[in-house]
Amino acid sequence: MKKKTKFSLGMKIVTLLTVITMASVGFAAWVITAPVVEKETAGAIVVDTVEEPEDPSLVFGEPTWVNAGDKTATAVGENLNKVYFGKPAESDYADDIVENPWLTNNSSDTEKMKAYLKVQITVNVATDISIAFKTYDVETDAITDDFSTYSNYITPNLSVKAYNGENEQSLTTNFVPDKPDEHGNQYCELVISSDGLTAGMVLDVYITIEFEWGDKFGTINPYNHYNKNEYNATLAQEAYEALKKINELNGVGYKVIIDKKAA
């Protein structure tokens, strides 16, 4: 059998990024995170209520991170708001990867590509509801350049389920993956149509924030994508550059902004 070259990509990039101080958590974890939920606090999930106190169309309860995107979810737990762009769980390794894979990840964290947020919404006036996903700099709390910069590597998606009591509420939704804001930056928005909503409804709404591997990795985990092939220097350099791009997301957080849809 031909001898394979061992190439530990993770350690190489850890050294580089420690020098230029871009990623204090290290490359092995590949983490994007949203902080603990606190209303109207810098670096937190922001729930903007309607600024019409004399006639609020929608009233929002306290948002909580849960472990599923439907009513099977249980209470808040540690790290439920974190997403890890890491190696796959061992049970998810592709069957066709090479023996003695050359791309490795020495972190104990495996990929976690979904987070779930629950919020109760009281509908006083049937109106469209906007759920927006925006990224921001954790240190400055400033909304960052649009996430489309990373769309070839990682793509976010939003989906939602709602329950009116024990019954699932039928919803009409429209997901816009690349909506421009007032500065021209792109963000994701999911709009729940007022169709089917009626005044007096109290809805338990479950929002799923899901990230998917992009076309650069064949829409699968980089571990599986690259280790399907024998090592060669060109492919190793490609993997290095692609995963270095993913590592830029260390220090980037996201906000989910729930509001009445602007007219």
pLDDT of amino acid 159: 96
Q: Which tokens sit at 262? A: 């602007």
Backbone angles phi, psi at 132, to 5 degrees: -110, 145
- The CA distance from 135 to 33, in Å, is 10
Average pLDDT over residues 206-211: 91
pLDDT at 226 over 70: yes
- Could you tell me if 190 and 158 are in contact, meaning their C-beta atoms sit under 8 angstroms apart? yes
| Domain spans in the chain, listed from the N-terminal domain onward | 9-260
Average pLDDT over residues 107-113: 82
Q: State the distance between the two ends of the chain, measured CA to CA, in whole angstroms.
A: 66
- Could you tell me if 260 and 122 are in contact, meaning their C-beta atoms sit under 8 angstroms apart? no
Express each pLDDT in 143-188 by its tens digit.
665 677 788 998 889 999 999 999 999 999 999 988 887 777 778 8
pTM above 0.85, yes or no: no
Per residue in 23-57, is it b (16+ CB within 10 Å) or e — as a string?
beebbbbbbbbbbebeeeeebbbbbebbeeeeeeb
- Could you tell me if 111 and 86 are in contact, meaning their C-beta atoms sit under 8 angstroms apart? yes
Mean pLDDT of the chain: 74
